[in-house]
Amino acid sequence: MSASSSIPTLLGWATGAAVTAAILGTPYLLFAYHSPDLHLVLDSLDTGVALLVAYLLLGRYTRTGRLQDLLLADGLLMLGLAGIGLTFALRLLGLDDDRGGVWLPVATRVVGAALVLAASLTRARRPAGPWSRPLKLLPWGTVLVGLLVTWGLRDSLPLALAQTPPASAQHPVIAGHPWLLGAHALTALSFAAASVAFAVTARPGAGGRDELIRWLGPAFALAAFARLNYLLFPSLYSDWLYTGDLLRTASYAVLLVGAGREIRRYWTMQAQAAVLEDRRRLARELHDGVVQELGYIRVETLTITGDPSRRERILASCDRALDEARGAVDALGRSGDEALGFVLHRAARQVADRYDASLEVELDDSVQADADQRHALIRITREAVSNAIRHGRTDRVRLRLDRNGQQRRLVVQDEGDGFDLAAVRGHTGGYGLTSMEERASSVRGALNIDSAPGRGTTVAVTW
């Protein structure tokens, strides 16, 4: 994993380890405080965050169909239900004693942690397929079965904690049942492994742009240390606030940060999709209207008799207008994710096809450019190819895009008639060269033109 993607997870591990070490090694810190109200507030907050993130992940699953999203949603839903939801249900059924009221939430958390671990080990692009419906019902089915089993075994379940709440929280004096301690240990290991797996998943190139996945690593690191604290200091008493409760709430706070970033990312994507759709609509209107009309004018101009120079000027004007209109169609209707080489190839091909010229390309797809640079390079490519065919009187143009170290280069080359560069620059009609130079300068690059009568022309842009 990269350093930048692993920093949040490392901070989560460091925080959990520091808090646990401070409680174990400092006699001035207590592992528990008597605060019923604060305990209830934190339980409510944890449940709300778990259900919110589960809902967001279920929404992601409906868009992506990824098994990872569905397993995560199920796991967090079960962790959320294991809090106030199960406590309320058990109280309604009269099972909220030291047996039924303990083992069902503990078992539910173990299953939730196992689902989180399974999600962390599942490849992000693997679809859920036919398992989607059973997995959606898994949390509710598990809780229902758990309630029935708890009801049937309510008199034979062992006590989770054999002692009453501590009179003093100075030293850990509560001895938990081996099953309880084992459940805490299993949950802690599941969260710890999931934290590492999610940190690896969030590395660049493997989901690094997924903000929610990026924050799962530190969240489950804190959750693992919370369960470790419950293992060291078993807690089942709602009147007492334990260190594990604080670490658990910290893990849900980190999850809430990830949820906020996920919501912002979703609405940003929605806005971008709306803008792109509107751009495509405008592109269709331009293509079906302006481009078609300009094409018709050009065809009709070819039938004009009389002054040949006048006809050539009209044709040149039509060609420039067509280039402008098609450039606008491409800019509006195309996605910015296309490779630069592909975009330049398409622009050059449109001009070459108009004059029945052949185009040779040699493109390095690793060469990239931002949106403004793309626009300038497309315009330079169109102008250079058009000049080579119309003024250089060639039927073959070569287009090359490559890099030399950190420097990138676009080359348009022909073996046409060529021209006297100094003479063209001194002529008022040399606006095309000036335009290409200005566009090259706008991308913080340089334009170099090598040409002479009878030996073709090479136009090179470096940036």
157 and 21 in a common domain: yes
Residue 305, domain member (yes or no): no
144 and 28 in a common domain: yes
Burial string for 9-33 (b: 16+ CB within 10 Å, else e) reads beebbebbeebbeebeeeeeebbbe
Element (H, E) at 385: helix 371-390
- Domain end residue (candidates: 249, 271, 293): 271
Residue 427, domain member (yes or no): yes
7 and 94 in a common domain: yes
Residues 252-305 have pLDDT tens digits of 999 999 888 878 877 777 776 676 666 666 665 555 556 555 666 666 666 666
Task: Report which residue type is found at 8.
Answer: P
Residue 303, domain member (yes or no): no
Domain count, the chain: 2
Element (H, E) at 463: none
**Helical axes 100-120 vs 178-201, angle rounded to 10°:** 20
236 and 111 in a common domain: yes
**CATH at residue 447:** 3.30.565.10
- Asked if 453 contacts 421 with a C-beta cutoff of 8 angstroms, the reply is no
Q: Kindly list the distances between the CA atom of residue 402 and the CA atoms of 339, 340, 367, 408, in Å, as whole numbers in the listed order.
A: 13, 11, 7, 6
**Helical axes 211-232 vs 100-120, angle rounded to 10°:** 140
Q: Kindly list the distances between the CA atom of residue 147 and the CA atoms of 114, 134, 139, in Å, as whole numbers in the listed order.
A: 20, 19, 12
- Domain end residue (candidates: 244, 271, 298): 271
Residue 52, domain member (yes or no): yes
Residue 370, domain member (yes or no): yes
388 and 244 in a common domain: no
Q: What is the pLDDT of residue 111?
A: 92
Q: What is the pLDDT along the chain (463 residues), one digit of tens a residue?
A: 445 567 888 898 899 888 888 877 776 666 666 677 777 788 888 888 998 899 888 888 887 778 888 889 999 998 988 877 777 777 777 776 667 677 888 889 999 999 999 999 886 556 666 667 777 888 888 888 877 887 777 777 777 766 555 554 455 545 677 888 888 899 999 999 999 988 887 755 444 457 788 888 899 999 999 998 888 877 665 667 778 888 999 999 999 998 888 788 777 777 766 766 666 666 655 555 565 556 666 666 666 666 677 666 676 667 667 666 666 666 555 555 677 777 888 888 877 887 788 888 888 777 777 766 777 788 788 878 888 887 788 888 888 888 877 788 888 888 888 887 777 665 545 556 777 777 788 777 888 888 888 888 888 888 8
340 and 259 in a common domain: no
Q: How many CB atoms lie within 10 A of CB 93?
A: 14
Q: What is the pLDDT of residue 205?
A: 45
386 and 237 in a common domain: no
Q: What is the pLDDT of residue 287?
A: 56
Instruction: Please list the alpha-helical segments (H only) found in 233-355.
Output: 243-286, 292-301, 308-333, 340-354
Helix (H, G, I), strand (E, B) or coil at 447: strand
Residue 297, domain member (yes or no): no
Residues 80-105 have pLDDT tens digits of 888 777 777 777 777 766 676 778 88
460 and 342 in a common domain: yes
369 and 245 in a common domain: no
Cβ within 8 Å of residue 75, ≥6 positions away: 112, 113, 114, 115, 116, 118, 119
Q: What is the pLDDT of residue 98?
A: 65
Q: What is the pLDDT of residue 200?
A: 83
Ramachandran class of 204: left when φ > 0, alpha when ψ lies in -120 to 50, beta otherwise: beta
Domain assignment of residue 152, given as a range:
3-271
Q: What is the pLDDT of residue 113?
A: 93
Strand partners, 241: 33
- Domain end residue (candidates: 252, 271, 290): 271
Q: What is the pLDDT of residue 103?
A: 82
Residue 300, domain member (yes or no): no
The number of angstroms, rounded, from the C-alpha of 286 to the middle of its chain's C-alpha atoms is: 33
158 and 251 in a common domain: yes
342 and 266 in a common domain: no
Residue 160, domain member (yes or no): yes
- Tokens of residue 132, six digits: 């989607």
Q: What is the pLDDT of residue 62?
A: 82
110 and 206 in a common domain: yes
